[in-house]
Amino acid sequence: MAENVAVLVVSHSAKLAQGVRELALQMARGSDLVWAVGGADDGQIGTSAPAIKRALEEALGSAPAVVVLLDLGSAHLNTVMAIEMLAPDLQPRVTMADAPLVEGAILAVVAAASGFPADEVRARAEEASAMHKLL
């Protein structure tokens, strides 16, 4: 274990991305390998491939792999573009989780802080899709 995987939260809202990051960090004390990026280049609601690319490069500078969690459709499209904009040797080090943003981020960060490899961090995040909120 002990791979030190980073987690990147991508949202249409910078405040939402930072809030999810803050919450996830509370659940996985001791981990600082969580990045958040949100909003369009003009500060409005939206996503930005160049901003996502910068966040990925920062995260990849601190960890061997990054698992990305997304909120809505264009976050996926812009993340795909951002990955394609990375240097070819960095691209395979990034994976996206098909998971609910908040719950998935918490599970991913806890798994990453526990030293699991990227494929397991992604799988743990994706387990959030089956979580029930009401009993």
CA distance 106 to 36: 13
pLDDT tens per residue, range 13-43: 999 999 999 999 888 776 788 999 999 989 8
pLDDT tens per residue, range 93-126: 999 999 999 999 999 999 999 999 999 999 999 9
| Structural domain contains residue 97 | no
The secondary structure element, H or E, covering residue 68 is strand 66-70
CB 31 within 8 A of CB 25: yes
Residues facing 11 on adjacent strands: 38
| Structural domain contains residue 28 | yes
| Structural domain contains residue 50 | yes
Look up the CATH number of the domain holding residue 53. 3.40.50.510
pLDDT tens per residue, range 48-78: 999 999 999 999 999 999 999 999 888 999 9
Question: What pLDDT score was predicted for residue 2?
Answer: 55
Looking at the predicted structure, is the pLDDT value of residue 11 above 70? yes
Question: What pLDDT score was predicted for residue 7?
Answer: 97
| Owning domain of residue 35 | 1-65+78-88
Residues facing 96 on adjacent strands: 68
Question: What pLDDT score was predicted for residue 1?
Answer: 47
| Structural domain contains residue 36 | yes
pLDDT tens per residue, range 70-102: 998 889 999 999 999 999 999 999 999 999 999
Print burial letters for 95-109: b (CB count within 10 Å at least 16), e (below 16).
bbbebbbbbbbbbbb
| Structural domain contains residue 7 | yes
What domain count does the chain have? 1
| Structural domain contains residue 135 | no
| Structural domain contains residue 15 | yes
Identity of the amino acid at 12:
H
